[in-house]
Amino acid sequence: MSPEAPQNRTSGRPTACIALADGTIFQGKGFGATGEAVAELCFNTAMTGYQEIMTDPSYAGQVVTFTFPHIGNTGTNSQDDETAEPVAAGMIVKWDPTHASNWRAEAELPDWLARRGRIGVGGVDTRRLTRAIRQQGAPHVAIAHDPEGRFDIGALVAKARGFPGLEGLDLAREVTCAQSYRWDEMRWAWPEGYKRRETPGRRVVAIDYGAKRNILRCLASAGCEVTVLPATASAADIMALEPEGVFLSNGPGDPAATGEYAVPMIRELLDGTDLPIFGICLGHQMLALALGARTIKMNHGHHGANHPVKDKETGKVEITSMNHGFTVDSQTLPADVIETHVSLFDGSNCGIRMRERPVFSVQYHPEASPGPQDSYYLFQRFVSAIETKAAG
């Protein structure tokens, strides 16, 4: 068997350990950085995009189990990061990463993780681990990588049990930008790659709760001149830029905690302006909270690039990319808000809009990085709403 072929090479002493809070132990082969990490454990069903997933700020405070077995075979490169550094605490895979075989590869996944201080664990029965996640509901976990295979199992279990969890935790403050900046890079296209927007566009302020770069690229490609502000920006900060629309980004953590400062700002915009507003993921949850709804913690959340969502107003089904552990409770939506989209997996809320105003949001990721391109039209809808308002 060639070195590039997927195989389990964890013979001999295990060099990595996974300890769940209930005392369940998995052992495997470590790669990437050494050390320990404690977080919430989730699983992702995407077949592509592991680099984008690891650098998605929405994964702050989480270790990601990849259900697709062949992770690492396309290597890593400098273009696919969704933010400057990986945000997920670590990754767990079935097979040890194979040698990169892709024309865009610049580095091997284990080397990329080691430089970024993130632990990888291979040689794990990820089907069994995924079942444990579904049964326990996103358990707390401690992972460790030691080349000598020396682990204090009891201490690792204790650390997993001591993890406070994501409920009540505001992580947007930890991943948001430190100061405002302009964004003009557009979506990747062959053969130019990423091009800069050079023509004037609609002025949009994007609130960064943990924004992915490809979301900002989609806004630029759809016709927006984007200015990004930190998560704690006030309504006055936003209006000082004279925007024609406001975008609320994705992000990690408990929406109710982030909402303590984000919701009053959004309500001030809703009450004092008639600006079009578009939200994604945590931004969707922030908008729903501002409109009077509530959010709840899901059993194990939605994480993947193959989630079917139904548009209740058109009957169309979109295959979407998702990453969220909290959801909007559709039973708490006020009368002036319509539920527009639902998950065909479990019926949970995936989109809302106001009845009489250009204010809408979705739970899933229409920029689809990674994932299908079914939902890019939402960026165009946002720009169309801005143009309609401008036309009077």
Catalytic option among 145, 281, 307, 318: 281
Taking the C-alpha atoms of residue 355 and residue 104, their distance in angstroms, rounded to an integer, is 45
Q: Within its chain, how far is the Cα of 339 from the centroid? A: 22
Taking the C-alpha atoms of residue 306 and residue 135, their distance in angstroms, rounded to an integer, is 21
Q: Is the separation of the CB atoms in 265 and 235 below 8 Å?
A: yes
| 4 part of the active site | no
Sheet containing strand 359-362, strands side by side: 181-183, 224-230, 202-208, 245-248, 277-280, 359-362, 349-354, 337-343, 294-311, 317-329
Helices in the chain by DSSP H: which ranges? 50-54, 109-116, 126-136, 153-162, 172-175, 213-222, 235-239, 255-272, 282-290, 377-390
- The enclosing H or E element of 25 equals strand 25-32
Taking the C-alpha atoms of residue 381 and residue 245, their distance in angstroms, rounded to an integer, is 12
Tokens 């939402």 locate to 378
Q: Is the separation of the CB atoms in 72 and 109 below 8 Å?
A: yes
How is 141-204 classified by DSSP, letter by letter? EEEEE-TT----HHHHHHHHHH---STT---HHHHS-SS-EEE-EEEEETTTEEEEP-S--EEE
| 42 part of the active site | no
Greatest CA span in the chain, whole angstroms?
71
Closest-CA residue to 184 (of 218, 208, 207, 212): 218
Taking the C-alpha atoms of residue 379 and residue 36, their distance in angstroms, rounded to an integer, is 40
Residue 270 Cα distances to 138, 258, 263, 349, angstroms: 35, 18, 10, 22
Q: Is the separation of the CB atoms in 247 and 279 below 8 Å?
A: yes
Residue 285 Cα distances to 84, 104, 254, 257, 379, angstroms: 25, 36, 10, 11, 18
| 99 part of the active site | no
Catalytic residues: 281, 365, 367
